[in-house]
Chains A and B, each alone.
Chain A
Amino acid sequence: MLNFIKSEYYRMIHTTGIRVFFGILSVLTILLISGISIVETQYHTTSFSYSILVSSPMFFTLMGMLTASVLYEDSKRNGIIKNSIANGIPRGKVFFSQCIVSITTATVIMTIVLTLWIFMTELFLDKTGPVHMTDLLMEIPAIYLIAVSSIVLTIVLCLCFQNGAFIFFTWLFVFFIFPTILLKFGIAVSAHFKTDFIYNIAMWMPSNFFQINTANVNMSSCITAWDTTGGMLRCIIAGISGIIIFMAIGFRHIRKADL
């Protein structure tokens, strides 16, 4: 397994995909913060800069999905999986190694880009407003495991499908569309049948509880889903559950699927 992981890092270094992705993220960060700092408006504050990320925690799951997609969207087409299995690497280990490689890569990219974001924000913007650097730093442990589950799901989808658009829309369905439908359905059920069962299940889905609990991050207040111990625990449990569910699906699929 270690050899496979090493070979994947070698591939990553010698292909342009992940470097371009990292470059785009860094350039966008620089452009965005520079833009905010140049224009002299009420948004010329650190609070506004941090609130962009703090109010949209699901952005991290999207970034996780994009990192894994850049790395493995073509893995079926490029023969990475077939050749590795023919080389005697057990199927489960191929899947697990892909998850490890994607998670570590995404973590490194996130660390560098966030460092750049914080550095530029602190350097160029006025230090005022309700959202602070600590809010962003507290967001990371809350969202990290959920972003990891997003990466695992993307790897599973890359194993199942070859079409990038199909991978993206399936991911979108699992992380956004299905939770929204379930939430609406849960609200309707609780209104008509006086039971919160479905609503409570829907509220364990990250996009729902973030949408409801981080709605108060703006220029005048900062109340996030991970402010309370219960909220933070919900984030962590949702992340771990996602990882376990998607890992189980991935292992089951790769162990039985014809490639």
Chain B
Amino acid sequence: MNRYVIETKQITKTYNPRSPFIALDHVDLHVSEGCIYGLIGDNGAGKSTLLKLLAGHIFPTNGELCLFGETEEKALCNIRKNIGCLIEYPCFVPGMTVEQTLHYYAIQKGVPDNKKIGEAIQLTGLSEKQHAKCKTLSLGQKQRLGLAVALLGEPQILILDEPINGLDPSGIVEFRSILQQLNEQKNITILLSSHILSELQHLATVYGFLNKGILLEEISSEALHAKCANCIELTVSDAEKYTVLLEKIFPEENYKVLPGNTIRIYKPHETAESFSRLAAKNDVYITKMQTLQTSLEDYYMELKKRGAVKC
């Protein structure tokens, strides 16, 4: 069984005690070792607040934070040495160069080997900018530097808040492949937030949907895929004959006939193979078969609606 490296138990965070604003409301987050956890939510949903709590920037109003099974503040501090963070806008000393910034954090993290600095620069594609001052870097380059800093000291967990903000399209692809590489080769657990769902879809193995401070659902990518795969579309040689067969053999299926001999079966009870076999046995040719999925965006919007109703 996978252990949780990050876990929150009924975490609540309230700002401004006079007119309270609940940023996080009894959140139970579970991040397993080795996964890429995508935290999804609108602006102001509480993503950054949750990540700041994990990084130790803020304290919870209620609830418990658990890192590698530890909950004591002193132990959490020690454990944070194994966590690389990039939270909100990456901030650095403007007068220092990229290389100096990495040296500065390497000394702070107790990384004795200067090779690690070179590796981090190489990995994040900052070789050309290593002698440039931080104040001259673009947002995308600062994000890369933030990742390089987070990678110093070989962390077991990476916490990244909107890491692709400011990156150009090729930068996004590169960033994604770096994260995948780190996850696969070094088994680094990654918790990243974004409101660009299509980006998370390429990376995450587990999703957490956060809305107005409430964690609506945690779901693995496989389970999400299965849940979203809610329609099979068949294009057959004889739609009339096939629908008669469907009524007879699979009466519980809900279908709709579309123009061009196309039949759409909604939330099928049978597998695609069964539909294929049925056609073959009865001399109906399937010229096209595809599974239609609800997009992550649609799924999130539906979940939000349901969450709002629950609230």
* Chain A residues proximal to chain B, CB less than 8 Å: 3-4, 6-7, 10-11, 14-17, 74, 77-80, 82-91, 256, 258-259
Could you name 15 residue pairs across A and B whose Cβ atoms are closer than 8 Å? A3-B108, A3-B109, A3-B110, A7-B108, A10-B104, A14-B95, A14-B100, A78-B91, A78-B93, A82-B57, A84-B108, A86-B85, A89-B108, A90-B77, A259-B58
Instruction: Please give the distance in Å from A63's CB to the nearest CB on chain B.
Output: 22
Residue contact B104 to A7, C-beta cutoff 8 Å: yes
Residue contact A88 to B79, C-beta cutoff 8 Å: yes
Residue contact B103 to A10, C-beta cutoff 8 Å: yes
Given known A11-B93, A79-B92, A80-B93, contact A86–B80 (CB-CB < 8 A): yes
Residue contact A258 to B109, C-beta cutoff 8 Å: no
Contacts of A74 in B (CB 8 A): 93
Q: Give complex CA distance A17, B96 in Å.
A: 11
Residue contact A4 to B108, C-beta cutoff 8 Å: yes
Residue contact A82 to B104, C-beta cutoff 8 Å: no
Q: Give complex CA distance A85, B59 in Å.
A: 12
Given known A4-B108, A82-B87, A88-B80, contact A256–B59 (CB-CB < 8 A): yes
Residue contact A16 to B92, C-beta cutoff 8 Å: no
Q: Give complex CA distance A156, B262 in Å.
A: 72
B56 at the interface (CB under 8 A from A): yes
Q: In the complex, which residue of chain A has the Cβ closest to the Cβ of B90?
A: A79
Contacts of A14 in B (CB 8 A): 95-96, 100, 104
Residue contact B81 to A15, C-beta cutoff 8 Å: no
Question: Could you mark each residue 75-117 of chain B with 1 if its beta carbon is under 8 Å from any beta carbon of chain A, else 0?
Answer: 0011111110101001111111000100111011110000000
Given known A90-B77, A258-B57, contact A10–B91 (CB-CB < 8 A): no
The size of the chain B interface, using a CB distance under 8 A, is: 33
Instruction: Please give the distance in Å from B57's CB to the nearest CB on chain A.
Output: 5
Contacts of B52 in A (CB 8 A): 259
Chain A interface, DSSP helix/strand/loop, else mixed: helix
Question: Could you mark each residue 131-159 of chain B with 1 if its beta carbon is under 8 Å from any beta carbon of chain A, else 0?
Answer: 00000000000000000010001000000
Given known A83-B105, A87-B109, contact A258–B95 (CB-CB < 8 A): no
Residue contact B77 to A7, C-beta cutoff 8 Å: no
Q: Give complex CA distance A78, B133 in Å.
A: 13
In the complex, chain B residues 171-227 whose Cβ is within 8 Å of any chain A Cβ? none
Instruction: Please give the distance in Å from A230's CB to the nearest CB on chain B.
Output: 44
Residue contact B91 to A88, C-beta cutoff 8 Å: no
Q: In the complex, which residue of chain A has the Cβ closest to the Cβ of B103?
A: A10
Instruction: Please give the distance in Å from B146's CB to the nearest CB on chain A.
Output: 9
Q: Give complex CA distance A17, B153 in Å.
A: 29
Contacts of A90 in B (CB 8 A): 74, 77
Contacts of B79 in A (CB 8 A): 88
Q: Which of A7, A15, A80 contacts B95 (CB 8 A)?
A: A15
Q: Which of B85, B87, B95, B109 contacts A17 (CB 8 A)?
A: B95
Instruction: Please give the distance in Å from B85's CB to the nearest CB on chain A.
Output: 4
Q: In the complex, which residue of chain B has the Cβ closest to the Cβ of A14?
A: B100
Residue contact A78 to B74, C-beta cutoff 8 Å: no
Instruction: Please give the distance in Å from B306's CB to the nearest CB on chain A.
Output: 32
B55 at the interface (CB under 8 A from A): yes
Name which of B80, B100, B107, B110 has the most chain A CB atoms within 10 A of its CB: B107
Q: Which of A11, A17, A86 contacts B104 (CB 8 A)?
A: A11
Name which of A15, A16, A83, A259 has the most chain B CB atoms within 10 A of its CB: A83
Q: Give complex CA distance A6, B227 in Å.
A: 53
Given known A17-B95, A78-B91, A79-B91, contact A85–B108 (CB-CB < 8 A): no
Given known A14-B100, A258-B57, contact A77–B91 (CB-CB < 8 A): yes
Residue contact B83 to A88, C-beta cutoff 8 Å: yes
Residue contact A87 to B96, C-beta cutoff 8 Å: no
Contacts of A16 in B (CB 8 A): 95
Contacts of A88 in B (CB 8 A): 77-83
In the complex, chain B residues 20-61 whose Cβ is within 8 Å of any chain A Cβ? 52, 55-59
Q: In the complex, which residue of chain B has the Cβ closest to the Cβ of A256?
A: B59
Contacts of A15 in B (CB 8 A): 93, 95-96
Given known A10-B107, A11-B93, A80-B93, contact A86–B100 (CB-CB < 8 A): no
Q: Give complex CA distance A79, B96 in Å.
A: 13
Q: Give complex CA distance A4, B55 in Å.
A: 17
Residue contact B108 to A87, C-beta cutoff 8 Å: yes
Q: In the complex, which residue of chain B has the Cβ closest to the Cβ of A85?
A: B56
Q: Which of B56, B92, B96, B107 contacts A86 (CB 8 A)?
A: B56
Contacts of B153 in A (CB 8 A): 87
Q: Give complex CA distance A11, B149 in Å.
A: 15
Q: Told that A16-B95, A86-B57, A87-B105 touch, could you supply 14 new A-B pairs with CB distance under 8 A?
A: A6-B107, A11-B93, A17-B95, A77-B91, A78-B93, A82-B57, A83-B85, A83-B105, A87-B109, A89-B108, A256-B59, A258-B58, A259-B57, A259-B58
